[in-house]
Homo-oligomer: A and B are copies of this chain.
Amino acid sequence: MEVAIMLFDEFETLDVFGPVEVFGRLKNDYKIKFYSLSGGDISNSHGVTIFTKKLEEIKAGADIFLITGGYGTRTEVNNVALLNAILEISEWSKYVLTVCTGSALLAKTGLLDFKNATTNKIAFDWVITNGNNVNWVRKARWVVDGKYYTSSGVSAGMDMTLNFLKDLHGIVIARQVAQQIEYEWTEDSNNDNFSQEGKT
Protein backbone atom coordinates (compact mmCIF):
# COMPACT_ATOMS: atom_id res chain seq x y z
CA MET A 1 0.00 0.00 0.00
CA GLU A 2 1.15 3.51 -0.71
CA VAL A 3 1.28 5.92 2.21
CA ALA A 4 0.94 9.38 0.68
CA ILE A 5 2.06 11.99 3.21
CA MET A 6 0.98 15.56 2.60
CA LEU A 7 3.41 18.28 3.63
CA PHE A 8 3.33 22.09 3.66
CA ASP A 9 5.81 24.65 4.93
CA GLU A 10 6.04 24.61 8.73
CA PHE A 11 4.88 21.03 9.08
CA GLU A 12 5.62 19.48 12.47
CA THR A 13 8.65 17.17 12.29
CA LEU A 14 7.43 14.29 14.45
CA ASP A 15 3.87 14.40 13.05
CA VAL A 16 5.47 13.13 9.88
CA PHE A 17 8.37 10.95 10.94
CA GLY A 18 6.66 9.17 13.84
CA PRO A 19 4.19 7.51 11.45
CA VAL A 20 6.99 7.08 8.86
CA GLU A 21 8.99 5.07 11.40
CA VAL A 22 5.98 2.91 12.28
CA PHE A 23 4.93 2.22 8.67
CA GLY A 24 8.59 1.89 7.69
CA ARG A 25 8.98 -1.10 10.01
CA LEU A 26 6.69 -3.00 7.62
CA LYS A 27 8.44 -1.79 4.52
CA ASN A 28 7.31 -4.74 2.43
CA ASP A 29 3.71 -3.66 3.02
CA TYR A 30 3.98 0.12 2.94
CA LYS A 31 5.73 2.47 0.54
CA ILE A 32 6.02 6.03 1.80
CA LYS A 33 5.88 9.01 -0.57
CA PHE A 34 5.76 12.72 0.15
CA TYR A 35 3.47 15.22 -1.57
CA SER A 36 2.64 18.92 -1.42
CA LEU A 37 0.36 21.22 -3.36
CA SER A 38 3.05 22.58 -5.66
CA GLY A 39 5.69 19.86 -5.25
CA GLY A 40 9.39 20.52 -4.67
CA ASP A 41 11.24 21.19 -1.43
CA ILE A 42 9.12 21.73 1.67
CA SER A 43 10.80 22.98 4.87
CA ASN A 44 10.15 23.74 8.50
CA SER A 45 11.89 25.80 11.14
CA HIS A 46 13.47 22.68 12.68
CA GLY A 47 15.82 22.74 9.68
CA VAL A 48 14.17 19.80 7.91
CA THR A 49 13.65 19.88 4.13
CA ILE A 50 11.87 17.11 2.22
CA PHE A 51 11.42 16.85 -1.54
CA THR A 52 7.79 16.31 -2.54
CA LYS A 53 5.76 15.38 -5.60
CA LYS A 54 2.63 17.33 -6.58
CA LEU A 55 -0.65 16.36 -4.94
CA GLU A 56 -2.34 16.33 -8.35
CA GLU A 57 -0.45 13.07 -9.03
CA ILE A 58 -2.72 11.34 -6.50
CA LYS A 59 -6.01 13.07 -7.24
CA ALA A 60 -7.50 9.61 -7.88
CA GLY A 61 -6.74 8.86 -4.21
CA ALA A 62 -4.13 6.91 -2.29
CA ASP A 63 -4.27 3.74 -0.25
CA ILE A 64 -3.44 5.77 2.83
CA PHE A 65 -3.53 9.57 2.77
CA LEU A 66 -1.81 11.11 5.79
CA ILE A 67 -2.32 14.78 6.62
CA THR A 68 0.30 16.19 8.95
CA GLY A 69 -0.06 19.07 11.41
CA GLY A 70 2.13 21.92 12.55
CA TYR A 71 2.07 25.70 12.70
CA GLY A 72 1.65 25.78 8.93
CA THR A 73 -1.96 24.66 9.34
CA ARG A 74 -2.82 28.14 10.65
CA THR A 75 -2.10 29.47 7.17
CA GLU A 76 -3.20 26.46 5.16
CA VAL A 77 -6.77 26.40 6.53
CA ASN A 78 -7.26 29.44 4.28
CA ASN A 79 -5.59 27.88 1.23
CA VAL A 80 -8.59 27.05 -0.96
CA ALA A 81 -6.55 25.19 -3.59
CA LEU A 82 -5.04 22.96 -0.91
CA LEU A 83 -8.41 22.32 0.74
CA ASN A 84 -9.91 21.34 -2.61
CA ALA A 85 -7.03 18.93 -3.20
CA ILE A 86 -7.48 17.43 0.29
CA LEU A 87 -11.22 17.05 -0.32
CA GLU A 88 -10.76 15.27 -3.65
CA ILE A 89 -7.90 13.00 -2.54
CA SER A 90 -9.58 12.12 0.77
CA GLU A 91 -12.82 11.13 -0.92
CA TRP A 92 -11.00 8.72 -3.22
CA SER A 93 -8.52 7.37 -0.67
CA LYS A 94 -9.06 4.09 1.12
CA TYR A 95 -7.93 5.49 4.49
CA VAL A 96 -7.34 9.06 5.64
CA LEU A 97 -5.14 9.70 8.68
CA THR A 98 -4.45 13.04 10.35
CA VAL A 99 -1.92 13.90 13.03
CA CYS A 100 -2.20 16.82 15.44
CA THR A 101 -3.66 19.98 13.84
CA GLY A 102 -3.83 18.18 10.49
CA SER A 103 -7.43 17.46 11.47
CA ALA A 104 -8.20 21.18 11.12
CA LEU A 105 -7.46 20.93 7.40
CA LEU A 106 -9.59 17.83 6.96
CA ALA A 107 -12.41 19.32 9.06
CA LYS A 108 -12.41 22.45 6.91
CA THR A 109 -13.32 20.34 3.85
CA GLY A 110 -16.50 19.17 5.61
CA LEU A 111 -15.52 15.49 5.36
CA LEU A 112 -15.47 15.09 9.15
CA ASP A 113 -18.98 16.56 9.60
CA PHE A 114 -21.05 14.46 12.04
CA LYS A 115 -18.06 12.16 12.54
CA ASN A 116 -15.99 11.61 15.68
CA ALA A 117 -12.49 13.12 15.60
CA THR A 118 -9.76 14.49 17.84
CA THR A 119 -6.73 16.74 17.58
CA ASN A 120 -3.85 18.40 19.45
CA LYS A 121 -4.86 19.25 23.01
CA ILE A 122 -3.16 22.64 23.36
CA ALA A 123 -4.53 23.85 20.01
CA PHE A 124 -7.91 22.17 20.59
CA ASP A 125 -10.03 25.30 20.85
CA TRP A 126 -8.63 26.71 17.63
CA VAL A 127 -8.92 23.47 15.66
CA ILE A 128 -12.60 22.96 16.47
CA THR A 129 -13.50 26.35 14.98
CA ASN A 130 -12.62 24.76 11.64
CA GLY A 131 -15.36 22.14 11.91
CA ASN A 132 -18.50 23.18 13.77
CA ASN A 133 -20.36 20.01 12.76
CA VAL A 134 -17.62 17.60 13.84
CA ASN A 135 -18.12 15.54 17.01
CA TRP A 136 -14.81 16.56 18.57
CA VAL A 137 -13.56 14.21 21.29
CA ARG A 138 -11.39 15.96 23.88
CA LYS A 139 -10.17 12.94 25.81
CA ALA A 140 -8.69 10.54 23.26
CA ARG A 141 -5.21 9.60 22.16
CA TRP A 142 -6.76 8.99 18.74
CA VAL A 143 -10.21 8.43 17.22
CA VAL A 144 -11.34 6.11 14.42
CA ASP A 145 -14.56 6.78 12.51
CA GLY A 146 -14.93 4.64 9.40
CA LYS A 147 -11.95 5.28 7.17
CA TYR A 148 -10.92 8.39 9.10
CA TYR A 149 -8.22 8.13 11.77
CA THR A 150 -7.45 11.35 13.66
CA SER A 151 -4.84 11.65 16.40
CA SER A 152 -3.96 14.03 19.19
CA GLY A 153 -0.77 16.07 19.18
CA VAL A 154 2.57 15.10 17.65
CA SER A 155 3.63 11.86 19.44
CA ALA A 156 0.05 10.57 19.40
CA GLY A 157 0.46 10.05 15.66
CA MET A 158 2.63 7.04 16.50
CA ASP A 159 -0.02 5.54 18.80
CA MET A 160 -2.66 6.04 16.09
CA THR A 161 -0.46 4.48 13.42
CA LEU A 162 0.29 1.49 15.65
CA ASN A 163 -3.48 1.12 16.12
CA PHE A 164 -3.90 1.31 12.35
CA LEU A 165 -1.43 -1.57 12.02
CA LYS A 166 -3.42 -3.43 14.67
CA ASP A 167 -6.63 -2.97 12.66
CA LEU A 168 -5.02 -4.26 9.47
CA HIS A 169 -2.49 -6.83 10.74
CA GLY A 170 -3.56 -7.69 14.30
CA ILE A 171 -2.29 -6.83 17.75
CA VAL A 172 0.73 -9.16 17.60
CA ILE A 173 2.30 -7.35 14.66
CA ALA A 174 1.48 -3.92 16.11
CA ARG A 175 3.08 -4.80 19.45
CA GLN A 176 6.08 -6.23 17.64
CA VAL A 177 6.63 -2.92 15.86
CA ALA A 178 6.25 -0.95 19.11
CA GLN A 179 8.78 -3.32 20.70
CA GLN A 180 11.27 -2.91 17.85
CA ILE A 181 11.22 0.87 18.14
CA GLU A 182 11.19 0.67 21.97
CA TYR A 183 8.07 2.81 22.06
CA GLU A 184 5.71 2.82 25.05
CA TRP A 185 2.58 2.47 22.96
CA THR A 186 -0.62 3.70 24.60
CA GLU A 187 -2.81 0.85 23.39
CA ASP A 188 -6.05 2.24 24.82
CA SER A 189 -7.17 5.31 22.87
CA ASN A 190 -9.10 6.55 25.93
CA ASN A 191 -5.90 6.74 27.94
CA ASP A 192 -5.04 10.37 27.23
CA ASN A 193 -3.01 12.14 29.89
CA PHE A 194 -2.83 15.35 27.90
CA SER A 195 -6.51 16.15 27.55
CA GLN A 196 -6.62 18.18 30.77
CA GLU A 197 -3.96 20.54 29.52
CA GLY A 198 -4.42 23.76 27.62
CA LYS A 199 -7.79 25.44 27.55
CA THR A 200 -10.63 23.03 28.20
Contacts and interface: CB of A to CB of B under 8 A. Distances in A.
Contacts of A179: 122, 194, 197
A24 B45 contact: yes
A23 B47 CA distance: 11
A24 B197 CA distance: 21
A181 B20 contact: no
A32 B14 contact: no
A150 interface: no
A147 to B, nearest CB: 23
Interface stretch (A82-90, A104-112, A151-159): A151-159
Contacts of A34: 47
Given A120-B182, A153-B182, A194-B182, A21 B31 contact: no
A48 B20 contact: yes
A48 B17 contact: yes
B21 A47 contact: no
Interface string A163-200: 00000000000000001111110100000011001000
A183 B146 CA distance: 26
A27 B13 CA distance: 13
Nearest to A51: B49
A49 B48 CA distance: 10
Give 5 nearest A-B pairs by CB, closest first: A24-B46, A17-B17, A14-B21, A153-B182, A32-B47
8 contacts: A13-B24, A16-B17, A18-B18, A20-B46, A27-B45, A32-B47, A50-B50, A155-B184
